[in-house]
Amino acid sequence: MKPSVFVGRPVFEEVLDSLRLHFDVVDNQADALFTPAELIAKLQGQAGAITTGTERIDAALLAACPDLKVVANMAVGFNNFDVPAMTAAGVQATNTPDVLTETTADFGFALLMATARRITESEHYVRAGLWKNWRYDMFAGAEVHGSTLGIIGMGRIGQGIARRAAHGFGMQVIYHNRSHLSPELEAQCGARYVSKQELLQTADHVMLVVPYSAESHHTIGAAELALMKPSATLVNIARGGIVDDAALAQALKERRIAGAGLDVYEGEPALNPALLSVPNVVLTPHIASATIKTRKAMAQLAADNLIAYLSQGKALTPLNALVERR
Protein backbone atom coordinates (compact mmCIF):
# COMPACT_ATOMS: atom_id res chain seq x y z
CA MET A 1 0.00 0.00 0.00
CA LYS A 2 1.36 3.39 -0.99
CA PRO A 3 1.82 6.11 1.63
CA SER A 4 -0.51 9.06 1.28
CA VAL A 5 0.62 12.68 0.86
CA PHE A 6 -1.28 15.94 0.86
CA VAL A 7 -0.62 18.85 -1.53
CA GLY A 8 -1.94 21.96 0.18
CA ARG A 9 -2.34 24.31 -2.79
CA PRO A 10 -2.70 23.90 -6.58
CA VAL A 11 0.40 22.77 -8.48
CA PHE A 12 1.20 21.74 -12.02
CA GLU A 13 -0.44 18.48 -13.12
CA GLU A 14 2.89 16.96 -14.14
CA VAL A 15 4.13 17.47 -10.57
CA LEU A 16 1.08 15.63 -9.22
CA ASP A 17 1.72 12.87 -11.76
CA SER A 18 5.29 12.45 -10.47
CA LEU A 19 3.95 12.13 -6.92
CA ARG A 20 1.29 9.60 -7.95
CA LEU A 21 4.02 7.20 -9.09
CA HIS A 22 5.01 6.84 -5.43
CA PHE A 23 2.05 7.90 -3.29
CA ASP A 24 -1.67 8.17 -2.96
CA VAL A 25 -2.10 11.89 -3.48
CA VAL A 26 -4.73 14.14 -1.93
CA ASP A 27 -4.58 17.37 -3.90
CA ASN A 28 -6.21 20.77 -3.56
CA GLN A 29 -6.47 21.86 -7.18
CA ALA A 30 -9.67 23.69 -6.25
CA ASP A 31 -7.49 25.98 -4.07
CA ALA A 32 -9.58 25.82 -0.92
CA LEU A 33 -8.06 27.78 1.97
CA PHE A 34 -8.11 25.87 5.24
CA THR A 35 -8.37 27.03 8.81
CA PRO A 36 -5.80 25.48 11.20
CA ALA A 37 -8.43 22.95 12.34
CA GLU A 38 -9.33 22.06 8.76
CA LEU A 39 -5.66 21.64 7.86
CA ILE A 40 -5.21 19.25 10.79
CA ALA A 41 -8.17 17.26 9.53
CA LYS A 42 -6.72 17.13 6.02
CA LEU A 43 -3.37 15.88 7.34
CA GLN A 44 -4.78 12.92 9.23
CA GLY A 45 -3.10 9.76 7.94
CA GLN A 46 -0.76 11.71 5.67
CA ALA A 47 2.93 10.76 5.66
CA GLY A 48 3.96 13.94 3.87
CA ALA A 49 2.70 17.29 2.69
CA ILE A 50 3.60 20.08 0.30
CA THR A 51 2.87 23.53 1.69
CA THR A 52 3.24 27.16 0.73
CA GLY A 53 3.55 30.15 3.04
CA THR A 54 -0.18 30.02 3.82
CA GLU A 55 -0.04 26.76 5.82
CA ARG A 56 1.36 27.04 9.34
CA ILE A 57 3.17 23.96 10.64
CA ASP A 58 3.53 24.34 14.40
CA ALA A 59 3.62 22.28 17.59
CA ALA A 60 -0.16 22.10 17.93
CA LEU A 61 -0.60 20.77 14.40
CA LEU A 62 2.25 18.29 14.78
CA ALA A 63 0.79 16.91 18.00
CA ALA A 64 -2.50 16.33 16.21
CA CYS A 65 -0.91 14.71 13.12
CA PRO A 66 1.20 11.80 14.41
CA ASP A 67 1.55 10.14 10.99
CA LEU A 68 3.23 13.16 9.43
CA LYS A 69 6.90 12.53 8.61
CA VAL A 70 7.93 15.27 6.16
CA VAL A 71 6.64 18.67 5.05
CA ALA A 72 8.07 20.30 1.93
CA ASN A 73 7.62 24.04 1.61
CA MET A 74 7.28 25.25 -1.99
CA ALA A 75 9.33 28.36 -1.20
CA VAL A 76 12.81 29.32 -0.14
CA GLY A 77 11.41 31.09 2.92
CA PHE A 78 9.95 29.01 5.74
CA ASN A 79 8.62 31.36 8.39
CA ASN A 80 5.39 29.31 8.29
CA PHE A 81 7.41 26.43 9.82
CA ASP A 82 8.23 26.05 13.50
CA VAL A 83 11.42 24.18 12.67
CA PRO A 84 12.43 23.41 16.29
CA ALA A 85 8.96 21.95 16.91
CA MET A 86 9.24 19.90 13.71
CA THR A 87 12.63 18.59 14.79
CA ALA A 88 11.31 17.70 18.25
CA ALA A 89 8.43 15.82 16.61
CA GLY A 90 10.78 14.01 14.23
CA VAL A 91 9.27 15.66 11.17
CA GLN A 92 11.57 16.56 8.30
CA ALA A 93 11.26 20.14 6.99
CA THR A 94 12.44 21.15 3.53
CA ASN A 95 12.40 24.23 1.29
CA THR A 96 13.28 25.07 -2.31
CA PRO A 97 16.54 27.06 -2.41
CA ASP A 98 18.61 27.82 -5.54
CA VAL A 99 15.91 27.13 -8.16
CA LEU A 100 14.38 30.59 -7.74
CA THR A 101 17.52 32.66 -7.15
CA GLU A 102 17.99 34.28 -10.55
CA THR A 103 14.28 34.76 -11.25
CA THR A 104 13.77 36.49 -7.90
CA ALA A 105 16.87 38.63 -8.41
CA ASP A 106 15.48 39.68 -11.81
CA PHE A 107 12.21 40.67 -10.20
CA GLY A 108 13.93 42.57 -7.39
CA PHE A 109 15.76 44.64 -9.94
CA ALA A 110 12.56 45.14 -11.96
CA LEU A 111 10.79 46.41 -8.82
CA LEU A 112 13.72 48.72 -8.09
CA MET A 113 13.53 50.15 -11.62
CA ALA A 114 9.76 50.58 -11.46
CA THR A 115 10.01 52.36 -8.11
CA ALA A 116 12.92 54.63 -8.99
CA ARG A 117 11.45 55.62 -12.35
CA ARG A 118 7.89 56.03 -11.03
CA ILE A 119 6.43 53.63 -13.58
CA THR A 120 3.27 52.78 -11.63
CA GLU A 121 2.47 56.43 -10.94
CA SER A 122 2.93 57.38 -14.58
CA GLU A 123 0.89 54.45 -15.89
CA HIS A 124 -2.02 55.36 -13.62
CA TYR A 125 -1.74 58.93 -14.89
CA VAL A 126 -1.98 57.81 -18.51
CA ARG A 127 -4.84 55.36 -17.87
CA ALA A 128 -6.81 58.08 -16.08
CA GLY A 129 -6.66 60.25 -19.20
CA LEU A 130 -4.68 62.97 -17.44
CA TRP A 131 -1.78 63.20 -19.90
CA LYS A 132 -2.45 66.34 -21.93
CA ASN A 133 1.05 67.69 -22.56
CA TRP A 134 4.73 66.95 -21.94
CA ARG A 135 6.78 68.67 -19.26
CA TYR A 136 10.50 68.47 -18.57
CA ASP A 137 9.86 67.40 -14.94
CA MET A 138 6.90 65.09 -15.51
CA PHE A 139 7.39 61.99 -13.32
CA ALA A 140 11.09 62.70 -13.06
CA GLY A 141 12.46 59.94 -10.88
CA ALA A 142 15.74 58.80 -9.39
CA GLU A 143 18.83 57.70 -11.26
CA VAL A 144 19.60 53.99 -11.15
CA HIS A 145 22.74 53.71 -13.28
CA GLY A 146 25.76 54.86 -11.28
CA SER A 147 23.81 55.31 -8.04
CA THR A 148 24.40 53.51 -4.73
CA LEU A 149 22.45 50.35 -3.93
CA GLY A 150 22.30 49.13 -0.34
CA ILE A 151 21.35 45.47 0.10
CA ILE A 152 20.26 44.15 3.50
CA GLY A 153 20.60 40.37 3.40
CA MET A 154 23.36 39.00 1.19
CA GLY A 155 22.41 35.41 0.53
CA ARG A 156 22.04 33.89 -2.92
CA ILE A 157 19.35 36.33 -4.06
CA GLY A 158 21.10 39.37 -2.60
CA GLN A 159 24.28 38.36 -4.40
CA GLY A 160 22.36 37.98 -7.66
CA ILE A 161 20.95 41.50 -7.30
CA ALA A 162 24.41 42.85 -6.45
CA ARG A 163 25.90 41.34 -9.61
CA ARG A 164 23.19 42.88 -11.76
CA ALA A 165 23.67 46.25 -10.10
CA ALA A 166 27.46 46.40 -10.17
CA HIS A 167 28.16 44.79 -13.52
CA GLY A 168 25.04 45.77 -15.46
CA PHE A 169 24.25 49.24 -14.12
CA GLY A 170 27.58 50.49 -12.80
CA MET A 171 26.12 50.92 -9.32
CA GLN A 172 28.11 51.22 -6.13
CA VAL A 173 26.92 48.26 -4.06
CA ILE A 174 27.08 48.24 -0.28
CA TYR A 175 25.58 45.54 1.90
CA HIS A 176 24.79 44.61 5.46
CA ASN A 177 24.49 41.01 6.57
CA ARG A 178 24.87 38.87 9.68
CA SER A 179 28.34 37.99 8.41
CA HIS A 180 30.79 39.27 5.81
CA LEU A 181 31.03 37.56 2.46
CA SER A 182 34.41 36.14 1.57
CA PRO A 183 36.71 38.56 -0.27
CA GLU A 184 36.24 36.45 -3.39
CA LEU A 185 32.44 36.69 -3.26
CA GLU A 186 32.59 40.42 -2.51
CA ALA A 187 34.74 40.87 -5.61
CA GLN A 188 32.33 38.82 -7.74
CA CYS A 189 29.39 40.89 -6.50
CA GLY A 190 31.23 44.21 -6.61
CA ALA A 191 29.99 44.78 -3.07
CA ARG A 192 31.38 46.31 0.14
CA TYR A 193 30.27 45.54 3.70
CA VAL A 194 29.03 48.45 5.85
CA SER A 195 27.04 48.87 9.04
CA LYS A 196 23.27 49.00 8.80
CA GLN A 197 23.30 52.66 9.82
CA GLU A 198 25.84 53.62 7.15
CA LEU A 199 23.88 51.70 4.53
CA LEU A 200 20.62 53.48 5.33
CA GLN A 201 22.27 56.89 5.42
CA THR A 202 24.28 56.37 2.23
CA ALA A 203 22.21 54.32 -0.21
CA ASP A 204 20.14 55.87 -2.96
CA HIS A 205 18.15 52.63 -3.11
CA VAL A 206 17.69 50.10 -0.29
CA MET A 207 16.83 46.48 -1.16
CA LEU A 208 15.63 44.01 1.49
CA VAL A 209 16.44 40.34 0.94
CA VAL A 210 16.80 39.17 4.54
CA PRO A 211 15.02 36.02 5.81
CA TYR A 212 12.18 36.60 8.25
CA SER A 213 12.71 35.69 11.90
CA ALA A 214 11.87 37.17 15.28
CA GLU A 215 15.21 38.99 15.11
CA SER A 216 14.53 40.48 11.66
CA HIS A 217 10.97 41.59 12.47
CA HIS A 218 10.65 45.28 11.55
CA THR A 219 14.25 45.50 10.36
CA ILE A 220 12.94 48.70 8.78
CA GLY A 221 10.74 50.79 11.07
CA ALA A 222 10.25 54.47 11.76
CA ALA A 223 13.77 54.96 13.15
CA GLU A 224 15.40 53.31 10.15
CA LEU A 225 13.25 55.22 7.66
CA ALA A 226 14.33 58.45 9.37
CA LEU A 227 17.95 57.62 8.52
CA MET A 228 17.28 57.32 4.79
CA LYS A 229 17.70 60.13 2.28
CA PRO A 230 14.50 61.95 1.27
CA SER A 231 15.40 61.01 -2.29
CA ALA A 232 15.90 57.31 -1.50
CA THR A 233 13.71 54.34 -2.42
CA LEU A 234 13.02 51.15 -0.49
CA VAL A 235 12.29 47.74 -2.06
CA ASN A 236 11.12 44.69 -0.10
CA ILE A 237 11.16 41.28 -1.81
CA ALA A 238 12.01 39.45 1.43
CA ARG A 239 9.00 38.71 3.65
CA GLY A 240 6.16 40.63 5.22
CA GLY A 241 7.12 41.78 8.69
CA ILE A 242 10.62 42.80 7.68
CA VAL A 243 9.14 46.30 7.20
CA ASP A 244 6.79 48.11 9.54
CA ASP A 245 4.18 48.79 6.84
CA ALA A 246 2.35 51.44 8.88
CA ALA A 247 5.55 53.41 9.45
CA LEU A 248 6.46 53.07 5.77
CA ALA A 249 3.05 54.32 4.62
CA GLN A 250 3.43 57.37 6.84
CA ALA A 251 6.93 58.08 5.53
CA LEU A 252 5.69 57.80 1.95
CA LYS A 253 2.72 60.05 2.65
CA GLU A 254 4.97 62.71 4.13
CA ARG A 255 7.55 62.22 1.33
CA ARG A 256 10.26 61.48 3.87
CA ILE A 257 11.49 58.93 1.35
CA ALA A 258 10.82 59.16 -2.37
CA GLY A 259 9.17 55.83 -2.99
CA ALA A 260 8.86 52.15 -2.21
CA GLY A 261 8.38 48.90 -4.10
CA LEU A 262 6.72 46.06 -2.18
CA ASP A 263 6.11 42.45 -3.13
CA VAL A 264 5.43 41.24 0.43
CA TYR A 265 3.36 42.59 3.31
CA GLU A 266 2.51 42.13 6.95
CA GLY A 267 -0.56 39.91 7.16
CA GLU A 268 -0.70 39.28 3.41
CA PRO A 269 -2.85 38.97 1.39
CA ALA A 270 -4.35 41.72 3.53
CA LEU A 271 -2.60 45.07 3.10
CA ASN A 272 -2.31 48.01 5.41
CA PRO A 273 -4.95 50.27 3.79
CA ALA A 274 -2.67 53.29 4.13
CA LEU A 275 -0.40 51.78 1.48
CA LEU A 276 -3.27 51.96 -1.01
CA SER A 277 -3.73 55.67 -0.50
CA VAL A 278 -0.20 56.83 -1.34
CA PRO A 279 0.83 57.19 -5.00
CA ASN A 280 4.58 56.71 -4.56
CA VAL A 281 4.57 52.97 -3.99
CA VAL A 282 4.64 50.02 -6.41
CA LEU A 283 2.57 47.09 -5.10
CA THR A 284 2.80 43.52 -6.42
CA PRO A 285 1.17 40.36 -4.97
CA HIS A 286 4.16 38.25 -3.82
CA ILE A 287 5.20 37.25 -7.34
CA ALA A 288 9.00 37.61 -7.25
CA SER A 289 9.54 33.97 -8.27
CA ALA A 290 6.57 33.86 -10.64
CA THR A 291 7.80 32.55 -13.95
CA ILE A 292 6.40 29.30 -15.29
CA LYS A 293 9.84 27.68 -15.44
CA THR A 294 10.77 28.66 -11.90
CA ARG A 295 7.44 27.82 -10.28
CA LYS A 296 7.54 24.38 -11.96
CA ALA A 297 11.05 23.87 -10.62
CA MET A 298 9.96 24.89 -7.12
CA ALA A 299 6.96 22.55 -7.15
CA GLN A 300 9.00 19.66 -8.52
CA LEU A 301 11.75 20.15 -5.93
CA ALA A 302 9.13 20.07 -3.18
CA ALA A 303 7.73 16.85 -4.66
CA ASP A 304 11.21 15.37 -5.04
CA ASN A 305 11.88 16.12 -1.36
CA LEU A 306 8.83 14.05 -0.38
CA ILE A 307 9.87 11.24 -2.70
CA ALA A 308 13.48 11.20 -1.50
CA TYR A 309 12.67 11.34 2.19
CA LEU A 310 9.83 8.84 2.23
CA SER A 311 11.60 6.36 -0.07
CA GLN A 312 15.24 6.78 0.96
CA GLY A 313 15.15 8.58 4.31
CA LYS A 314 17.11 11.59 3.08
CA ALA A 315 15.65 14.84 1.76
CA LEU A 316 17.32 16.81 -1.02
CA THR A 317 17.15 20.24 0.64
CA PRO A 318 16.55 19.69 4.36
CA LEU A 319 16.09 22.47 6.87
CA ASN A 320 16.60 20.19 9.90
CA ALA A 321 19.11 17.72 8.52
CA LEU A 322 19.42 15.60 11.68
CA VAL A 323 15.88 14.24 11.46
CA GLU A 324 15.94 10.52 10.71
CA ARG A 325 13.04 8.84 8.97
CA ARG A 326 10.62 7.15 11.38
10 vs 165: CA distance, rounded Å: 35
List the domain boundaries for the chain: 4-99+292-312, 101-283
Please pick, among 102, 121, 198, 268, the residue that the annotation labels catalytic: 268
pTM over cut 0.85: yes
pLDDT in tens, the chain (326 residues): 899 999 999 999 999 999 999 999 999 999 999 999 999 999 999 999 999 988 999 999 999 999 999 999 999 989 899 999 999 999 999 999 999 999 999 999 999 999 999 999 999 999 999 999 999 999 999 999 999 999 999 999 999 999 999 999 999 999 999 999 999 999 999 999 999 999 999 999 999 999 988 899 999 999 999 999 999 999 999 999 999 999 999 999 999 999 999 999 999 999 999 999 999 999 999 999 999 999 999 999 999 999 999 999 999 999 998 777 66
Asked about 176 being catalytic, the answer comes back as no
> What would the CATH number be for the domain defined by 101-283?
3.40.50.720
The phi and psi torsions of 115 (rounded to 5 degrees) equal: -70, -50
* Sign of the dihedral defined by the CA atoms of residues 320, 51, 26, 298, in that order: negative
CA 302 to CA 297: how far, in whole Å? 9
Q: Are 232 and 208 in contact (CB under 8 A)?
A: no
Active-site residue, from 239, 266, 295, 325: 239
User: Among 286, 295, 324, 326, which one carries the catalytic annotation?
Assistant: 286
Could you say which of 3.40.50.720, 1.20.1070.10, 3.30.450.20, 3.40.50.970 is the CATH number of the domain covering 4-99+292-312?
3.40.50.720
Do the domains at 4-99+292-312 and 101-283 have one common CATH topology?
yes
Catalytic residue status for 286: yes
